[in-house]
Amino acid sequence: MIFFALSKVGLAETIQIEFTENDSYSIEVARIGVGGTVEWLPTNKGHNVEFLAGPNMNLLPKRSEIDELHSVVFNIPGIYLYGCTPHGNMGMLGLIIVGNDFHNIEKVKETELSRVASSVLRRLIRIAESN
């Protein structure tokens, strides 16, 4: 807890998210400061990270290869939605909230997804908005 408090004051923070054996991300809603890093660890096979929405749709982070360790530095505040290319339609999705900035949340809600994925996204948005 002390580390998190300190990191908000300026230390560049890093959050690590694993690919779980249940075809999900270990942290579905991650919060990070501007300039922070998120690392996705290929702890289970067959997954990757593909960005579907963000504060600047022309500057989304690049898609990772399957089973690759992926690292992204987030310098633009806002909400990022990503999913696994093979399993996104089944609801393998995650949100990154950068700088506690929700300005693009309505755009994120409009992302076209399968029915299952849409319901997962609604659940993640509720979590994001709840604190």
Q: Catalog residues that contact Cu ion under the rule CB under 5 A.
A: 47, 84, 87, 92
By beta carbon distance, the residue nearest Cu ion is 84
Compute the least distance from the CB of residue 50 to Cu ion, in Å.
10
Nearer to Cu ion, 54 or 91 (CB): 91
Residue 17: CB atoms within 10 Å:
20
How far, in Å, CA of 36 to CA of 30, rounded? 11
Residue 84 C-beta: closest distance to Cu ion, Å: 3
Compute and round to an integer the Cα radius of gyration of the chain: 14
CA–CA distance, 40 with 45 (Å, rounded to integer): 12
Q: Would you say 55 or 83 has its CB closer to Cu ion?
A: 83
Tokens 């898609």 map to which residue? 63
Closer to Cu ion by CB, 31 or 47: give it.
47
Smallest distance from the beta carbon of 9 to Cu ion, in angstroms? 35
DSSP symbols for 101-128: --TTHHHHHT----HHHHHHHHHHHHHH
Residue 18 CB, shortest distance to Cu ion, in Å, is 12
Nearer to Cu ion, 87 or 109 (CB): 87
